[in-house]
Structure 1
Amino acid sequence: MSRITIAEQSALSPIASRGPDMLSNVERWCALNTGSRNLVGLAEMADILVEAFAPLGGETEIRDPEPAETLDETGARIPLAHGRNVHIVRPGRGNRRILLTGHMDTVFPKDHHFQELKWLEDGVLNGPGVADMKGGIAVMLEALTALEASPLAGQIGWEVILNADEEVSSLGSAPLLADAASRCQIGLTFEPAAEPDGTLAGGRKGSGNFAAAITGRAAHAGRNPEDGRNALVAAADLAVRLDTMKHERPTLSVNPAKLDGGGPNNVVPERAVLRWNVRPLTPEDQAWAEARQAELFADIKQRHDVGIDITGSFARPPKPLDDKQLGLFTLVKECGAALGHDIRWKHTGGVCDGNNLAAAGLAVVDTMGVRGGAIHSDREFLIVDSLTERAELAALTLMRLAEGRLDI
């Protein structure tokens, strides 16, 4: 085990007393609703985070999202609005750069019933975003503060992206993430730990969200149904066939999720919209799924004599735990051991911005945030002691990266 040096201990020691301040930030940030579609709340949160990170001395911008679109319930293409993103750069130091990412959005819209914070028991806080991932942003801020106060600060550059649309696939922030990744070699993302005991996420599946607008032809259901082209039946047929893909390739997950369409019983439906999610384990799975879906679209179009308009993509590529990723995991594990923590990792079907950073060529650990659980539900919780615990882990990792402990 690599012991903590006197210099490292000096930089880490202030974190132990920072728990109440970190908790206060989390409570204040989580009291503000920042659902992915709440652009007003996200704008307010962006301003709050700019102020919180200002003492680090980086160059800060609030960046507009890239345009995106989706299908409405009738199948028409419509603009899809996303919030603005915070980008902070501390350039010009050393020959390495780290990209630290987090997201300010949550899955809870402003009309969701889950808006309040409460204590479940001593040291366990329940609330929207406490773990996923405003707690993680607090950890990131504290770790960078420790790095900047250490003698190693001048040996490494860093960038921070706090995006507003991670929970909805980062469509508006993807170009910003890719641009920053092109300048960096290492990524740390502050999603919550994969398990309450602090286990990290290792390899991750990829994810693609898709929608098909199917256009048939209306007709009277009794007088001349043969003149109609039933879009609802075509969409249902497509849903069933998409679902069979997971049996054809067991390492693939497919979830037909929503079907809109239909109308009066005496009218052959002329429009339907099907939405689904696909999660490939490997890049080969993704390539197979793309080809197989194209075959299904062509066959449905011909068999049912309908039009099909497809939107969506694999916005999250698979993230295998290759040698590059394993090297950074090993460094984090060594840092954990030096602090008295047994850091482990597990594969997961969940996805995050870490998928995209790894696909861009970075070594990435993407669960550097707090310990907690039940995310994406009104049972979401934060284990408060993990705020300082994970801040120490992230700070030590940053300092050892600055020392050049990882050969990339």
Structure 2
Amino acid sequence: MIQGYSILRIALLRIAVLAFVMGLPTTTTAVPVEPVWSLVQQQKPALVQTLQQLVNVESGSRDKEGLDRLSALIGQRLTALGARVDYHEPSSDETSRLYDTPDAPGKIVIGRFQGKGSRNIMLMAHMDTVYPHGTLATRPFRIKGSRAYGPGIADDKGGIAAILHAVSILQAMDFREFGTLTVVINGDEEISSPASRALIQRLAAEQDVVLSCEPPLSKQDEITLATSGIGLATLTVKGKASHAGVNPELGRNAIIELAHRILQANDLSDPEQRIKFNWTLMNGGQVRNIIPDKATAWADVRVDRLADLGLIEQRYRERIATQTSLVPDTTVEAGFEQRRPPLEVTDASRVLGRKAQVIYSEIGRALKVDESGAGGGTDAAFAAVSGRPAVVESFGLIGFGFHSSDEEYVDLDSIEPRLYLLVRFIMEASRASKD
């Protein structure tokens, strides 16, 4: 019996050692680091108040007035924490003119904290939302049970709140082991960051680690190492208008020709290469009784690899160029925008993913590290373009309902563990040696 007991102890010890080496959480090693955990618990009520403050300023991607108000508020909060704050107004030269780029994009708030170490770390979030001005009147901030509701509360005002309170905790501990800690909050992420992408790339190229504080795409506790690249294909047909009742035969129906062309380009997705090409929007005609002389369609494109954006653009243009026309005397124009590169997994980001799992095990929780790149695209991909920093996405609060008809919310029970993860990750990333 004693021999069997010893064998069992040895086996359990081996399992524990293996779990430690692999960075897997074990129930026997759940020991939160202090004073971080206590400070995180103390910060929760204040973070909820910050969420309310941020949500109560409407900030749609084209609401310049609201974005200016919110950028001023965020800048004031960063200044109070000791940051050197700059408000960057994007110039026309650095703004990518996509089809939906507003004339006056929002400012970019940059807060810089100087440390005593050598590692440079950047934290990212965005202040703009997908909601039109006036949404707050029908969907005000409210708390029900363990959820806080409001427009943009998870995507991505929860990320802004997490950053502000993570920095507050670091300040309370007088933690300055980083070289620089840079906070970047932009106001055009929801429209593919046309005015902020260039600045994000420049700033990220100076960093060792970049953490993007978007919410996890699922309701799970996770961080993300890969996101989708996004393209936009456009197809415009021009025909000839005529009266639909008097002389329709004199017209050249652009809608009919556009539908014909779309049907001939409806098989461009490639599941094996994880390329998704889907027609999602169509517009044509002005009034009921006129043969339409113009019609346009848009297709959403998703890829896992940067090279595939160029590949699918080439395939699309070749397909349109070789199609046959159904309606005579119509012209066709194909366009393609590469709106976001993908964030691709690297060895360096995998190391950070394992480190995050070890940190989460300190509070007895398991953390999923997602490498699937399933569907969504974020600014983390712009941060990774230079190839210098290790980039990880989804350090924001857990929530749901964003980009849908459901009410968007943040899971209040996620505040303490997610804030702990962000603070501890900044600490460990600051202490890591430079290669």
**TM score, norm. by length of structure 2:** 0.82
The 8 Å contact of residues 70 and 80 in structure 1, kept in 2 or not, is answered as: no
Match of 1:201 in 2: 224
Match of 1:353 in 2: 379
Question: Can you list the C-alpha shifts for 1:193-233, whole angstroms capped at 9, x where unaligned?
Answer: 23333122342221123434433334566898777544323
CA, structure 1 residues 301+20, in 2 after alignment: closer, same or farther (shift >3 Å)? farther
Match of 1:216 in 2: 239
Runs of 4+ in structure 1 over 6 Å off: 2-6, 220-227, 301-304
1:183 to 206, 221, 224: 206
How far apart are the structure 2 equivalents of 1:307 and 1:360? 40
How far apart are the structure 2 equivalents of 1:101 and 1:46? 14
2:192 to 169, 184, 204: 169
Match of 1:245 in 2: 268
CA, structure 1 residues 36+265, in 2 after alignment: closer, same or farther (shift >3 Å)? closer
SS in 1 for 2:35: helix
Q: State the one-letter code of the partner of 1:282.
A: R
Q: State the one-letter code of the partner of 1:54.
A: T
How far apart are the structure 2 equivalents of 1:138 and 1:302? 54
2:52 to 11, 24, 27: 27
How far apart are the structure 1 equivalents of 2:386 and 2:262? 32
Match of 2:38 in 1: 13
Match of 1:75 in 2: none
The 8 Å contact of residues 71 and 311 in structure 1, kept in 2 or not, is answered as: no
SS in 2 for 1:171: coil
Match of 2:417 in 1: 389
2:392 counterpart of 1:370: no
SS in 1 for 2:339: strand
SS in 2 for 1:53: helix
Deviates more, 1:274-283 or 1:395-404: 274-283
How far apart are the structure 2 equivalents of 1:247 and 1:220? 42
CA, structure 1 residues 238+224, in 2 after alignment: closer, same or farther (shift >3 Å)? same
How far apart are the structure 1 equivalents of 2:82 and 2:140? 33
How far apart are the structure 2 equivalents of 1:203 and 1:293? 25
The 8 Å contact of residues 106 and 132 in structure 1, kept in 2 or not, is answered as: yes
The 8 Å contact of residues 251 and 285 in structure 1, kept in 2 or not, is answered as: no
The 8 Å contact of residues 242 and 256 in structure 1, kept in 2 or not, is answered as: no
SS in 2 for 1:133: helix
How far apart are the structure 2 equivalents of 1:273 and 1:81? 25
How far apart are the structure 2 equivalents of 1:313 and 1:70? 7
Match of 2:365 in 1: 341
CA, structure 1 residues 21+299, in 2 after alignment: closer, same or farther (shift >3 Å)? same
Question: Can you list the C-alpha shifts for 1:83-119, whole angstroms capped at 9, x where unaligned?
Answer: 1121122357533311211011111111337531223
CA, structure 1 residues 92+228, in 2 after alignment: closer, same or farther (shift >3 Å)? farther
Match of 1:262 in 2: 285
Write the mapping of 1:3-402 to structure 2, written as runs, cut at 5 A.
Answer: 9-67=34-92, 69=97, 71=99, 80-91=103-114, 93-112=116-135, 114-121=138-145, 123-150=146-173, 152-218=175-241, 229-246=252-269, 251-263=274-286, 267-299=290-322, 306-308=330-332, 313-346=337-370, 347=372, 348-361=374-387, 362-377=389-404, 378-402=406-430
How far apart are the structure 1 equivalents of 2:115 and 2:330? 57
Q: State the one-letter code of the partner of 1:324.
A: A
Question: Can you list the C-alpha shifts for 1:23-74, whole angstroms capped at 9, x where unaligned?
Answer: 00101211221111211111111111011111332221111234454558xx
Give, in angstroms, the shift of residue 389 of structure 1: 1.9
How far apart are the structure 1 equivalents of 2:261 and 2:271? 15
The 8 Å contact of residues 64 and 84 in structure 1, kept in 2 or not, is answered as: yes
SS in 2 for 1:203: coil
Question: Can you list the C-alpha shifts for 1:315-365, whole angstroms capped at 9, x where unaligned?
Answer: 221223232221111111111112322111232211111122233323211
How far apart are the structure 2 equivalents of 1:91 and 1:381? 34
The 8 Å contact of residues 313 and 336 in structure 2, kept in 1 or not, is answered as: no
Give, in angstroms, the shift of residue 11 of structure 1: 4.6
The 8 Å contact of residues 120 and 179 in structure 2, kept in 1 or not, is answered as: yes
Match of 2:17 in 1: none
Q: State the one-letter code of the partner of 1:14.
A: L
How far apart are the structure 2 equivalents of 1:330 and 1:231? 54
Q: Which blocks of at least 5 consecutive residues in structure 1 are unaligned? A: 73-77
Give, in angstroms, the shift of residue 256 of structure 1: 1.6
CA, structure 1 residues 263+369, in 2 after alignment: closer, same or farther (shift >3 Å)? closer
CA, structure 1 residues 205+263, in 2 after alignment: closer, same or farther (shift >3 Å)? same
How far apart are the structure 1 equivalents of 2:210 and 2:30? 23
The 8 Å contact of residues 229 and 343 in structure 2, kept in 1 or not, is answered as: yes
How far apart are the structure 1 equivalents of 2:323 and 2:75? 50
Q: State the one-letter code of the partner of 2:50.
A: N
**Count of aligned pairs between the two proteins:** 400
How far apart are the structure 2 equivalents of 1:69 and 1:229? 31
- Percent identity over the alignment is 27
How far apart are the structure 1 equivalents of 2:197 and 2:252? 38
Question: Can you list the C-alpha shifts for 1:284-324, whole angstroms capped at 9, x where unaligned?
Answer: 43232111122134335978664455555222212232322
